[in-house]
Copies of this chain bind each other. A is one copy, B any other.
Amino acid sequence: MKFEAFKDSVRLSMEDICEEFLARNRDRIKVKKDRVAVKNLAKIFEATLRVSNEKGFASMSLRDLSREAGLSMGALYSYISSKDELLDMVQQQGRSLVFKILGEHIEEIPDPREKLKAGIQTHLYLSEVVQPWFYFSYMETKNLPRGVHRKAIEAELFTEKIFAGIIEEGIGKGLFRKVDPQMTSAALKAMLQDWYLKRWKHERRRLSVEQYAEFVIELMSAYLDAKEEKGG
């Protein structure tokens, strides 16, 4: 699949995402009119991601945020009840997005080789479309309070498990050689994450997400197809 086709197929605007978010959290938001709420939530999320990814969530004051979002402090507090809750809101929405899209794009594929390929592409393409969300989730995970941190860790392991499962299936069917599915999946995940964590680097090199996807697929294929014998 080409990136442009993917982009069209998911059609994710900030407002779409916020609309879904509002529906899921209608009780927590004081503002009653949906149109108004979605519009301002979009502003708040966008500003949170922009400012946080610049200076870190902890260093972003709510005054910064209210200025950048174009809302007063008072208005801001009609949408969030605390800064911590805002963090949770953004993370939660990012996670459910990944689960949904990744699931949709790979569940129906029977061939492990094709499934792995689709998984890699989907993960990279999605992280390209909503890069600020991915970057934010990764970077702000460590600072999470209480049980929210656990959720984030589960999310990390969730996608890893998906890839490990595909690899395991491929080994079972004799398509891949006998590697450690868990470690292989972990390494793959590291490469997928590198795409959105070091965007400045890849951008500077004029590397497209399609080129990167192809590279990762080739590297993984080389490892999964290699002969068992070892030289050296």
Q: List A residues at the B interface (Cβ < 8 Å).
A: 53-56, 58-59, 113, 139, 142-143, 153, 156-157, 180, 182-184, 186-187, 189-191, 193-194, 198, 200-201, 205, 207, 212, 215-216, 218-219, 221-223, 225-226, 230-232
Contacts and interface: CB of A to CB of B under 8 A. Distances in A.
**Secondary structure of the A contact surface, majority rule:** helix
A201 B189 CA distance: 13
A221 B194 CA distance: 20
A221 B222 CA distance: 9
A3 to B, nearest CB: 17
A199 to B, nearest CB: 12
* Closest 4 pairs (CB-CB, A-B): A190-B194, A58-B58, A222-B226, A222-B223
A194 B187 contact: yes
Contacts of A184: 219
A55 B183 contact: no
A231 B139 CA distance: 37
- Number of copies of this kind of chain in the complex: 2
Contacts of A189: 194
A113, A200, A207, A226 interface centre (most CB from chain B within 10 Å): A226
Contact of A55 (B143, B157, B182, B231): B143
Contacts of A182: 205
A139 B58 CA distance: 13
Contacts of A222: 222-223, 226
Given A153-B200, A218-B223, 15 more contacts: A53-B142, A55-B143, A56-B143, A139-B142, A156-B201, A157-B201, A180-B215, A182-B205, A184-B219, A187-B216, A189-B194, A190-B191, A191-B191, A218-B230, A221-B230
